[in-house]
Amino acid sequence: MHEYEVLIETINPCGGEAHSKKEFLDIEAESPEAYVRAEGRWPVLDTGKNMDGDVVITTGDGKGNMIRYTFTE
């Protein structure tokens, strides 16, 4: 198990990214992908890394609602 700090941004089509709901969690998981598979409510749309090397996973419902998870070790 690895420890991560996770920024979870819930983005809806009306408010967009500027008005996203942000939440920080400290979690333990095998991997960021395993956490999103177990806890996420929508399918994964994109997986990558930001400029700091953090894993960023974006999920969505295909109708404009998205949740972006940013994992920092």
Q: Note the pLDDT tens digit of each residue in 29-57.
A: 999 999 999 999 999 999 999 999 999 99
Residue linked to tokens 């500027």? 18
Largest CA distance in the chain: 37
Q: Read off the pTM.
A: 0.92
Which pLDDT score, from 0 to 100, does residue 20 have?
A: 86
End-to-end, the C-alpha distance of the chain in Å comes to 11
* CA–CA separation, 73 and 70 (whole Å): 10
Number of domains in the chain: 1
Q: Give the residue numbers spanning the domain of 41.
A: 2-72
* CA–CA separation, 12 and 65 (whole Å): 5
* CA–CA separation, 59 and 72 (whole Å): 18
